[in-house]
Structure 1
């Protein structure tokens, strides 16, 4: 029994690494998605091209290759990252590319009347985007962002390939040391589900709260 308790502690330590990867990766992905999404609708062609290039590249290539390139190739160019930094960067850039299209479509989904009203009260373009468009668009984005966050959570398992001791890595360690596959992998199965459930609940709660604040604003 003591042996298995020790192994469970290993897996729980891995769960903490997974949670950190998810939180940091989601924060980075959100920032990247907003920047790239705004870039997609920029009036400047060069900004649009850069945004489209980033989105298509990271959506069109394997996250496994992206992770290995960031962790193993960047050091050859003088940029050495820790496994955690490489994992966050790869996950954030990959999920952010999908999120950028969500940002673009949500902004374009805001009723034109809202933009016209902002112009009528002499708001600048920045003020219109900051105070009128983005608050409404963010509510539209939230459900898909929640799905993207869960996809990022599940994607954290790839960091075990660069020896970062997340849940999947620790489950593999327990399996190698005990010869038992069922217990460690059933354990992380439920842990992934529990974390995903917390994300879903948090996103739904935030969506309800923000939607109440916009009652009567959206057409």
Structure 2
């Protein structure tokens, strides 16, 4: 891959991939909470509608939905999405459906005694959600949300099929222009890995802060756990609290 192809195609493609990932994740997060909360509603029709949404989008291909929004939707309704918007909406709606199951499961995992305490305090349903259930469920949502975010990142490669110049599209253009497949696709693999690694580190930090916010002890880093002998973690913590070896 020449430097001209790298600067004119691949680097802009990286930025487009990041934008699609973040915007799709934001839409998916909103959809996940709206549908997830609706699936825990006490009103059966609300649960039914939310359940239908979940089943429809869980059983629908994100690629097919993307193609439908880009090419069929304008013919049926006379209004056309920008290609990048088609990708964002398709990914956000699809992964939001998966995220709604995470929200529902985490909320139902909150101990019933916590809800009963809220009822005893005369909290409304929204007050119980805002002050009791969501704060306790949020730390449990983050690890599966992290996995879903990485899957969404990898799913952004689908937008290349509707001519959005993301990293995958740029890598294909570079391969065709330079007739060099190995450098283009190796760089593409490494780029996805680097972005996924950064996103994972950010989500791990968010998880530790969320657990600390509800009084849970954050997990120590993996390298520290591996290097400490069994039973030595408390000694290490005491030595750090006492100023270490000095």
Please report the TM-score for the alignment, with normalisation by the length of structure 2: 0.85
Aligned to 2:238: none
Higher helix share: 1
Rounded Cα–Cα distance in structure 2 between residues aligned with 1:139 and 1:158: 30
Aligned runs of 1:67-78 on 2, under 5 Å?
A: 67-76=66-75, 77-78=77-78
Rounded Cα–Cα distance in structure 2 between residues aligned with 1:79 and 1:127: 40
The one-character-per-residue Cα deviations of 1:85-138 (angstroms, maximum 9, x if unpaired) are 101100001101111111000000011121112122221111110111111111
Aligned to 2:220: none
5+ residue gaps, structure 1: none
Rounded Cα–Cα distance in structure 1 between residues aligned with 2:185 and 2:143: 29
Aligned to 2:86: 86
Aligned to 2:15: 16
5+ residue gaps, structure 2: 217-246
Quote the offset at 1:79 in angstroms. 2.7
Rounded Cα–Cα distance in structure 1 between residues aligned with 2:136 and 2:3: 48
Rounded Cα–Cα distance in structure 2 between residues aligned with 1:97 and 1:11: 31
Aligned to 1:7: 5
Establish whether residue 51 from structure 1 lines up as the match of residue 13 from structure 2: no
Quote the offset at 1:8 in angstroms. 1.4
Establish whether residue 36 from structure 1 lines up as the match of residue 35 from structure 2: yes
Please report the TM-score for the alignment, with normalisation by the length of structure 1: 0.95
Aligned to 2:219: none
Secondary structure in 2 aligned to 1:53?
helix
Rounded Cα–Cα distance in structure 2 between residues aligned with 1:150 and 1:165: 20
Structure 1 runs of 4+ off > 3 angstroms? none
The higher radius of gyration belongs to 2
Secondary structure in 1 aligned to 2:2?
helix
State the aligned residue count: 215
Secondary structure in 1 aligned to 2:20?
helix
Rounded Cα–Cα distance in structure 1 between residues aligned with 2:4 and 2:136: 48
Quote the offset at 1:78 in angstroms. 2.2
Aligned to 2:169: 169
Rounded Cα–Cα distance in structure 2 between residues aligned with 1:193 and 1:173: 20
Secondary structure in 2 aligned to 1:165?
coil
